Structure 1
Amino acid sequence: MKHILVLLIVVFSVKLSAQTEQNHIPISKSIVGIWRLIDERKLTNGESIRILTGDYKVINADGTYYTFATLPNETIIVQYGSYEIESDSTLVEHIIENVLHPRLSGKDSPIKYNLIDENTMSVAWSYNLEGKIWLNEKWIRLPLAVPRSASGINLVQPGTQKH
């Protein structure tokens, strides 16, 4: 009996450890992650350009999220709440507070999403909550990466840091 109890504890610990590793944002392949809003625009010559915004969303494995914006003089949290995944393409955000659109605070917002690939997600959400007006957005996952200068040179040389 004692061995069975020890075995159950070990199995439970290994399973919990494996789940914890899967929940780490830098290795996530699901919607869990830190995402940056991008704006893709077509130029008059037909070319597309990709504009990186200062808007970010953190989707945590524990069912919580927050959105923040980096502005010239400050970085602020603009929305936070929890979410529930309803299917492989829909979720509901339970908005606790949204300072940019206060009428959304305390409301549930249906979200349509699609992981285009493991680092790109398209999102559609209804601005008026009645589903009459849908806004489409594209988000890219922030990578675990060595920072680079504007000219593309690594600011930190990998392997030179002491832990």
Structure 2
Amino acid sequence: MKHIFTLLIIVFSATLSAQTKQNHIPVSKSIVGIWRLIDERTLANGESIKIVTGDYKVINADGTYYTFVTWPNQTTIAQYGSYEIESDSTLVEHIIENVLHPRLSGRDSPIKYSLIDENTMRIAWSYNFDGNVWINEKWIRLPLAVPARASGVKLLHPGTQKQ
């Protein structure tokens, strides 16, 4: 949990230089934002379950992006680069470096995307760059909120802590 808070502090600190309200990630209604990858699976009985991953994507208003991965004992940057929106459903990521899939470093990756609603985005990217194999992903926007509970520990608001 400490690593997730560290990640969020880094991300929010990076956005402090935005001059106008629409450039601030927490109030964005576009693809600009902090997103978390969600995996959905269908069980044998037909029940659908949602698996929350430790993968985060930060899409900045200045055309840059970062992907963070939270591991059990650390959080790392897995990928970073820039992006260009080509239409209302396609963009190209210019991957500067990807440490999890090094063959993607220095490549352009076409992305198909759609905002299901302001807090849910579906993307598809071609794994082999020829458009024959597409990876489909669902991402949810991180809310601007104080969690009610974190790792079983009740959070106290400032001013309510015992001295």
TM-score where L is the length of structure 1: 0.82
Q: Which residue type is aligned with residue 84 of structure 1?
A: E
Query: What is the deviation of 1:129?
Result: 1.0
Query: What is the deviation of 1:149?
Result: 1.3
Query: What is the deviation of 1:26?
Result: 0.4
Q: Is residue 2:108 matched to residue 1:108?
A: yes
* Off by >3 Å, runs of 4+ in structure 1: 150-154, 156-161
Alpha-carbon separation, structure 1, partners of 2:158 and 2:112: 39
* Maintained 8 Å contact 1:146/1:156: no
Query: What is the deviation of 1:152?
Result: 8.6
**Per-residue CA shift, 1:68-116, capped at 9, x if unaligned?**
1000011000100000000000000000000111111111000000000
Q: Which runs of no fewer than 5 residues in structure 1 stay unpaired?
A: 1-17
1:1-163 → structure 2 map (5 Å cutoff): 20-149=20-149, 155-157=155-157
Instruction: Give identity over the alignment, percent.
Output: 82
Query: What is the deviation of 1:132?
Result: 1.1
TM-score where L is the length of structure 2: 0.82
Alpha-carbon separation, structure 1, partners of 2:33 and 2:24: 8
* Maintained 8 Å contact 1:147/1:154: no
Larger CA deviation: 143-152 vs 111-120? 143-152
Q: Which runs of no fewer than 5 residues in structure 2 stay unpaired?
A: 1-17
Q: Which residue type is aligned with residue 109 of structure 1?
A: S
* Maintained 8 Å contact 1:79/1:96: yes
Question: Structure 1 residues 102, 39: CA separation in 2 closer, same or farther (over 3 Å shift)?
Answer: same
Aligned length: 144
Q: Which residue type is aligned with residue 145 of structure 2?
A: A
Q: Which residue type is aligned with residue 27 of structure 2?
A: I
Q: Which has the larger radius of gyration?
A: 1
